[in-house]
Amino acid sequence: MADGYTTVGKMWHPSLYIGSIIDKHDDRVAILPPRIKESMPSPEPKPGEAGWLYRVLEPYYSRECVDNVMAAMLEGQISSGASWPRKLAAEVCSLYQVPVALPTSSGASALHVALLACNLGPHDHVLVPTLTMVAVANMVKMVGAKPVYCDCAEGSVNPGVAELKQKATPRTKAVIVCHTYGIACRDIAAISELCKEKGWWLVEDICEAMGTKADTGELVGTFGDFAVTSLYANKPITAGDGGWVHAKDQKHHDRLKSLINHGFDPAYHFLHFETAPNAKMNGLGAAFVCSQVKMLPRLMQHRGQVANWYREGLAGITELRCIEQRQIDAPWVFGVETKDRQTRDKLRDHLAAKGIETRNYFYPLHLEPVNFYGDDVGVYDVVLPRAESLAQVGFYLPTHSFLEQGDVQYICSILRSFYQADSAVSAPRKHGWVDAERSKLLTPS
């Protein structure tokens, strides 16, 4: 193929995704270099005929959420300008003890406006973890800056100070810390100090770490200039889709408010002093999630129990390593790491055959195909060995608010039966059990 990028050469805004000029999956993959092809994820395992008995994540909410949506509808309070987004902001400010919080349409849009508020642009570098969700790099690119990918620290899913320093350049202007999988970044306090010393912005992406506590006991999301989160349906509390951005300093309020709302100015309607997206959350979503904020500490306590049950249930399987354990161990998702890639894939198939859904650890962002062609060509050629190795062997198990000890014991027994024939116990649940539990939560009292 001509310069090795695409069938038509280098495109200005290249996308090889569905509907673009290369619409066959195999053709898109065929052009990738061996380094990506050899490490890219295998196709996802399928459940047995009965379907999934345990989904990896489940949305959890109560009757109060439904009642609040009904109240919003009856009062006509359904838009971003309604009272519910303001009530949600007040709940967030109270939980995180911050003066500024603004509900957004998603975690990605929250990150977008936080990065815009940092005034980042072309030529600026932003240090980001490579083992995280693609929205992190996408939003850096959306503001015109360049993501610089950092490896994980030894024994961690997050980069530490050393990994950030190693990738810093004279053009570094900001750092995004992600607390991946709800594992608090163990160096967060030191990273915050480093950012102050260097004059870098610190944005904490707590999309996977809402309610997570650092080793010091403080909530993550209170160390950075800005924190952003996601309220997508797989998160411990949810609006279906949504998120928020919060800031430690009151001075950011007006700018963030403008940035989430087309650059509207409170003094002059239809006179715009900056270009900005519409990143606001609608009133129905805010009404739905508002009462969940106060549930978060209880939900995180339960996450801690789930982690504990998994650690107990998997103890003694020498070939399986459990995800990094911090002082306050309550991950959003509970991960395990096998000895090699083949075992990981076979073990996931084994669990899927029993209706247990799992998800691979992230594929490192620097290896994503978008970094092979177009303006980011060459980025994939960097080697970040710890993240690359974790991506080959790691995956996470069902972790959600409906799970009880018997469920985790069952899942652990299926894992054990992969390594030691004969140890599986019988399933404590029938298909559809989560929907039945959810309808109990939604029954009017």
Ligand X SMILES: Cc1ncc(COP(=O)(O)O)c(C=O)c1O
Contacts with ligand X by CB under 6 A lie at: 106-108, 111, 132-133, 135-136, 178, 205, 207-208, 230, 232, 243
Instruction: State whether residue 24 is helix, strand or coil.
Output: coil
Residue number, 147 or 355, with CB nearest to ligand X: 147
Give the span between the Cα atoms of 21 and 98, in whole angstroms. 47
- Tell me if 335 sits within 8 A of 321, measured CB to CB: no
Report the nearest approach of ligand X to the CB of residue 323 (Å). Answer: 15
Answer positive or negative: Cα dihedral of 215, 217, 220, 225. negative
Contact 391, 181 (CB under 8 A): no
Nearest approach in angstroms of CB 279 to ligand X is 10
Indicate the residue among 209 and 306 with the shorter CB distance to ligand X.
209
Of 136 and 300, CB closest to ligand X: 136
Q: Which is nearer to ligand X, 77 or 230 (CB)?
A: 230
Give min distance, CB of 111 to ligand X, in A.
Answer: 6
Whole-angstrom Cα distance, residue 430 to residue 53?
7
Give the integer Cα–Cα distance in Å for 288 and 267: 31
Task: Specify the residue, 163 or 205, whose C-beta has the smaller distance to ligand X.
Answer: 205
CA distance 101 to 110: 10
Q: Which is nearer to ligand X, 234 or 305 (CB)?
A: 234
| Smallest separation, CB 295 to ligand X (Å) | 19
- Cβ-closest residue to ligand X? 107
Q: In this structure, are residues 4 and 34 in contact, taking their beta carbons and an 8 Å threshold?
A: no
Report which of 40, 218, 186, 131 is spatially closest to residue 396, judged by C-alpha positions: 131
Longest dimension (CA), the chain: 72
Token digits of residue 378: 């060459």
| Cβ proximity to ligand X, 136 vs 384, nearer residue | 136
- 31 vs 135, beta carbon nearer ligand X: 135
* Smallest distance from ligand X to CB 17, Å: 17
Half-sphere exposure of 424 (CA within 13 A, CB side): 13
Least distance to ligand X, CB of residue 381, Å: 24
> Strands 125-129 and 146-150: what pairing?
parallel
- Residue closer to ligand X, measured from CB, 232 or 310: 232
CA distance 357 to 434: 14
Spatial distance between the Cα atoms of 414 and 424, rounded to a whole number of angstroms: 5
CB-based contacts of 279, cutoff 8 Å, min separation 6: 104, 105, 106, 109, 110, 112, 113, 259, 260, 261
User: Least distance to ligand X from the beta carbon of 406, Å?
Assistant: 29
Tell the smallest beta-carbon distance from residue 140 to ligand X (Å): 11
